[in-house]
A and B are shown apart, each in its own frame.
Chain A
Amino acid sequence: MQHNIVCFRTRHLDQPWSLENYRSVGGYKQLERILNDKIPPEHILERIKQSALRGRGGAGFPTGLKWSFLSRGKPIQKYLICNSDEGEPGTCKDHDILMLNPHQLIEGMIIAAYVLGTTVGYHYLRGEFWHAFQRCEQAIKEAYQEGYLGKNILGSGVDFDLYNTLGAGAYICGEETALIESIEGKRGWPRFKPPFPANYGLYGLPTTINNTETLASVPVILQHGAKWFAHLGGKENGGSKIFSISGHVNQPGNYEIPLGTPFSELLNIAGGVWKNARIKAVIPGGSSMPVLPGEVMKRTRLDYDSLSKAGSMLGTGAIIVMDEHTCMVNALACITEFYYEESCGQCTPCREGSGWVTRLIKRIEAGQGKPGDLDCLEQIAKGIEGRTICAFGEAIAWPVRSFLKHFRAEFEYHIEHGCCQVAARVR
């Protein structure tokens, strides 16, 4: 199996973020080729579509299709935004791309801008990514010096200016319309859709927003060809993906492997479960995705469609592994508390529901649960799901519902006995 061949292709080098090292693996070659040969944007768009590249930010929307929504012909200002507001608990892949291979992202953005016909791009980083921000600033400076950015790139007549923007530390700003609001200097509140950003985005103009990993994959697709990329993974699941595996494994970290790799194989790469304990549960795509029991997960391949079938989603590819000593009530309490703190407060169900869910679960955890609490919890989660402006409502509801679906007995034990089943067993 091939590791680190797309976004992490400079990882084996010393100082992998430097321009020379990036050039040594073929960096900026594709951009030069496109601009020198004047390859029509439609051809590149076709390649991206063939590569079956899907959004790596969580929703898994086909990138080629997304790009085709931005009508290239319209003679108005359009924007390209790279979303590096990586806030999903468990996810740390974009941070590593920014730290280890910022130039590949820049090249990807320039190519995307060329395809989309935009002349201005924004790179939105989450507020805590100060080091990554510095590195990206340096990389953009270098790219300007080399003439890859700015007016008349490499004498081709194509213009593209790229700006880094630092967020102020809100999870919700990872949502594309909240991110747009944040760049505009407003409160990070998601907008009601439709209109979608492709029609009404940054400053009311057509905008395309892609995840860091998605954009960073573009130069490699063009280098090795769409077919090569598509063949890395399964059907409709092209390419390789960085998985951030964390929790009870021996070697947590970012692993870039082809999509469709069985989870058990990734678990082996990550050194197996910590202290040889049994695996109890896995959240396969960041904390907002439904949890799956360990046994189910062991049978599942890591790609968009297989995980959907198993009852969860690939999400951002942040895999959180929990061993048999984990109290699922406590785990859920941690997750809901995060969403309680991060709810933006715009829509009623999410603002009020997140607080209710959190307080209820904490009460159960503290041993003061009452019969009927679990039904109530289920009811609240249903009340939030699908009733909010953005997908944040689902991010609260899904963990609650999946934890209750798979581990209801443990919650019931908590209510009945006023203490934790796992702790009792260990004792």
Chain B
Amino acid sequence: MIKFEIDGKKIQAKSGSTIIEAADAAGVDVSHIPRFCYHSKLSIAASCRMCLVEVENGRKPLPACATTVTAGMKIYTKSHQAMQAQKEVMSFLLINHPLDCPICDQGGECELQDLSMGYGRTSTSFIEGKRSIKDKDIGPLIATEMTRCIHCTRCVRFCSEIAGLRELGILGRGEHSEISTYVEHSMQSELAGNIIDLCPVGALTSKPFRFKARAWELRARAGIAGHDCLGSNINIHIKRESDSQPERIMRVVSRTNEKLNETWLSDRDRFSYTGLYHADRLARPMIKQIGKWQETDWETALTVATQKLQNVIAQNGAQAVGGLISPNSTVEECYLFQAWLRSLGVPHIDHRIRQSDFDHQIQSPLVWSTCKCVQSLEETTSFLLIGSFIREEQPLITSRIRKATQGGARVHVINPVDFDFHLTLTNRCIVSPWGMVCSLAAIAQVLFGNDKKKLNIMPKPIAELIRQQKPNTVEHDIARDLQQDKAPLILLGALAQAHPYFSYLRVLSETIAIEIGAKTLHLTDSANEAGAWLATALPHRRIDGVSIKEPGYNAKAMLAKTLKSYCLFGLEPTYDSAYPELARTALQQAECVIVCSAFKNKAMLEYADVLLPIATHLENEGSFVNIEGTRQSFQRSVNKPFAEARCGWKVLRVLANFMGRPGFDYQTVLELSSELSRNLENDLQSEHIPPVDFKPLPTVSDNTVWRCGYWPIYRNDSLVRRAEPLQVLTVEQDLAKLRLGAALATHLKVNNGDRVSVSSDHPDAKPVTLQVLIDQRIADATVCLPSGLPDIAINGPLSVVRITT
């Protein structure tokens, strides 16, 4: 610690910190130093010169952002010299800046406007012509007014340092310099929206929000982002009800949480709100009467739902009912959902809609990844990433890993497609889905393949798989690096989770982790997977953590076994399920389908009988458990959700009430939360579970073709799919193509642009005709066809497919 003085106040700071850091740490009441180019999360530019301060015995004023404090330093931020410098810099900034704040979208929340109140002059001697610069079109998310730019370069530094994509730069020099993309194009980064927050002036503003409201009209409510497993903290900005409009969510901005999202927010979390008032939004409860849909009130809808469900149970027993809940639902909703269905005797409850392999589920831990590792990601020096398009799945976790790689960390990847992560990869195994399992087994062989003892205690098929492998140099390299590193991290992504041999991947990665002292982390692509596990929205486990002897059907079996009735919560199975084909058939044949959803779609109107509108996560209350196991509660941001929609927990509670189930008398979500917390606090001791048999190794022939069906970033859930600005970025025609490598194309004798039909490897499967696109990034014996696209329903995101030319 160093002692020094700011404006006569004695202050201590860490050695090596800059004046501005020290002043900020000491608090605003000590001294607020004005600044534009400085940002605590970005490198120092020292170019705006707004933070010039006087340092005793200094020849000239020094920039507080770039000058490190020394012991005994005397700093004056409000002295004549400092103020003179700051005021003159302000007058320079304002000469070319348009002074039409009323028309500017940043007006009211503009750093330049704020500081000009303190440092600006009331009159000007500048009568020369002002510079003006043509606006750039950088995509559907960010509006530009480049004449307003003050060249602080925060956006440029953000793009190269945090987003990992040098999309913005400066063209020209001196007064003619302008921020631009080099060749005019849309910004592709999934973190681009952050430059809106970073821009201190109105040069970069939000396009969907443009001119719609003013900062002073909005009220901010804290919320939690619900599109990835990080649980980014957000502020939801709401405009009050007026004569002409109901209360509306106008935008979402980030809320600082150093442990999770720092000050950033991914575009998916920032702009998903634009889907809130989509035409598909369910405004009122709906019931199907003799094949016709009609809007009704809650009372009627709930009565109809109760009757229909009770009829099915009375005729076929509770065994004929299945309950599927979205892993994006809150913990409270998951808890109530399973409690309600279990009280009816329904055994089939699941949230794992994107999983294909449920073997070994009984031995999975009570709680997935609970290591507090998000902050420590930056210090990790070796990563093994298995089956993940992490940049699209977890944009902010990727930025942490990127920071780690900038400090020299190594990232090894095992993926079916050579996805672009915008970070430096050390080793990559680009192999078919089955090849992923083999590669991991090969790494295991390098690490302990000679140790017979270790292999003998492993499940037989896995030990056999490890023995079979002939590791190549890349696998050797990965194994060596993981072995040498102090604390490597193994990350399993959404593709691993959707893998038909997920149990293999999981056991192998855990064995490797134990062998080398690594941690494993499951990066789920939903907001509350961990919470859904805790709340046991699962067929095989009760809320007290005890396994159920005869578990109900899992998500896949439920659809495959065609039950009489389904209860869906927050889901669009035809988009969200790993088995869209199965889902459609199963739901359409069912007698009674009760759907609690915020949105409707065409298929839903065909299969459902009752539609109950619920709140989206931006309007909801409850809590999410993130990847670290941190439970973050959030309150309702709006007075009431859209139109007649209700918070999900209320709908579930009332459904239980209508069906006469006792014990569902919660008045507030807090009562529910505390009951749940009490349940979770009980000793969740893992019971002894006897080893389970693994399914045998598959026979993989040379002609087997696998599909890699990742969920594209903006097709991930109902809300995002309806966010128009984000959909503009997702070019559906490009996604709905069958991508394959040159080798496979030669083997199949197809060329770019040829049309082929693809179907899942099942005799009854309906083929889909698609255009071929040859893409070198795809592994051998693999085709890439994303999931979650309309009209492309192929079962199994990583399963074997048949291709006929």
Contact = CB atoms under 8 A, between A and B. Distances in A.
Chains A and B come from one and the same complex: yes
Interface of A: 170, 172, 187, 192, 340-349, 351-356, 359-360, 363, 370, 372, 376, 382-383, 386-389
Interface stretch (B47-55, B303-311, B615-623, B765-773): B47-55
23 contacts: A172-B173, A192-B66, A341-B174, A343-B174, A344-B177, A345-B174, A345-B176, A345-B177, A346-B151, A347-B47, A348-B89, A348-B150, A351-B174, A353-B92, A354-B175, A355-B128, A355-B131, A355-B174, A359-B129, A383-B91, A386-B59, A388-B49, A389-B46
Contacts of A386: 59-61
B177 A351 contact: yes
B147 interface: no
A349 B128 contact: no
Interface string B117-145: 00000000111110100000000000000
B150 to A, nearest CB: 7
A345 B89 CA distance: 14
B95 interface: yes
Interface in B169-184: 169-170, 172-177
Given A170-B173, A356-B128, A386-B60, 7 more contacts: A340-B174, A345-B172, A349-B92, A359-B128, A360-B128, A386-B61, A387-B88
Contact of B49 (A341, A347, A363, A376): A347
B134 to A, nearest CB: 17
B748 to A, nearest CB: 44
A346 B46 CA distance: 9
Contacts of A372: 125
B44 interface: yes
A351 to B, nearest CB: 6
B669 interface: no
B81 to A, nearest CB: 10
A383 B92 contact: yes
Nearest to A349: B92
B52 A387 contact: yes
B92 A346 contact: no
B55 to A, nearest CB: 13
A349 B151 contact: no
Contact of A346 (B47, B66, B91, B169): B47
Interface in B140-190: 150-151, 169-170, 172-177
Contacts of A347: 47-49
B174 A187 contact: no
A239 B125 CA distance: 48
Given A348-B151, A349-B92, A354 B174 contact: yes
A192 B63 contact: yes
A349 B49 contact: yes
A219 B92 CA distance: 48
B180 to A, nearest CB: 13
A348 B93 contact: yes
Main secondary structure of the interface of A (DSSP, over half): helix
B765 to A, nearest CB: 54
Contacts of A187: 169-170
B85 interface: yes
A352 B96 contact: yes
Interface in B54-101: 59-61, 63, 66, 85, 88-89, 91-93, 95-96
Nearest to A370: B127
Given A348-B48, A387-B85, A389-B46, A343 B175 contact: yes
Contacts of B172: 345
B695 to A, nearest CB: 54
Contact of A387 (B45, B89, B95): B89
B151 to A, nearest CB: 6
Contact of A344 (B45, B52, B89, B173): B173
B68 to A, nearest CB: 9
Interface residues of B, number: 37
A355 B44 contact: no
Interface pairs A-B: 8 shortest CB-CB: A343-B174, A345-B177, A383-B88, A386-B60, A352-B92, A359-B128, A355-B175, A192-B46
Contacts of B129: 359
A364 to B, nearest CB: 12
A366 to B, nearest CB: 12
Contacts of B91: 383
Contacts of A356: 92, 95, 126, 128
Contacts of B52: 387
A192 B44 contact: yes
Residue from A170, A192, A342 having most chain B Cβ neighbours under 10 A: A192
A122 B128 CA distance: 43
A297 to B, nearest CB: 28
Contacts of B175: 340, 343, 345, 351-352, 354-355
A383 B47 CA distance: 15
Contacts of B92: 348-349, 351-353, 356, 383
A349 B150 CA distance: 11
A343 B173 contact: yes
Contacts of B95: 352, 355-356
A351 B151 contact: yes
Contacts of A341: 174
Contact of A389 (B47, B88, B128): B47
Contacts of A352: 92-93, 95-96, 175
Task: Find the residue from A348, A351, A354 having the highest chain B CB count within 10 A.
Answer: A348
Contacts of A376: 125
A172 B173 CA distance: 10
A172 B174 CA distance: 10
A349 B173 contact: no
Which of B46, B93, B125, B128 gathers most chain A CB within 10 Å?
B125
Contacts of A348: 47-50, 89, 92-93, 150-151
Contacts of B47: 346-348, 389
A387 B85 CA distance: 7
A336 to B, nearest CB: 12
Nearest to B130: A355
Contacts of B126: 356
Contacts of B173: 170, 172, 342-345
Contacts of A192: 44, 46, 63, 66
B361 to A, nearest CB: 52
Interface in B568-590: none
Contacts of A351: 92, 151, 174-175, 177
B167 to A, nearest CB: 16
A387 B63 CA distance: 9
A127 B398 CA distance: 41
A344 B174 contact: yes
Contacts of A370: 127
A389 B91 CA distance: 18
Nearest to A362: B128
Given A348-B49, A352-B92, A387-B49, A363 B174 contact: no
Contacts of B46: 192, 389
Nearest to A191: B46
B61 A387 contact: yes
A372 B85 CA distance: 21
Contacts of B125: 372, 376
A386 B61 CA distance: 8
Interface string B324-365: 000000000000000000000000000000000000000000
A343 B48 CA distance: 14
Contacts of B151: 345-346, 348, 351
A363 B127 CA distance: 10
A6 to B, nearest CB: 33
A187 B172 CA distance: 10
A187 B179 CA distance: 13
Contacts of B63: 192
A342 B88 contact: no
Nearest to A386: B60
Nearest to B126: A356
Residue picked from A341, A345, A372, most chain B C-beta under 10 Å: A345
A351 B37 CA distance: 15
Contact of B88 (A349, A355, A359): A349
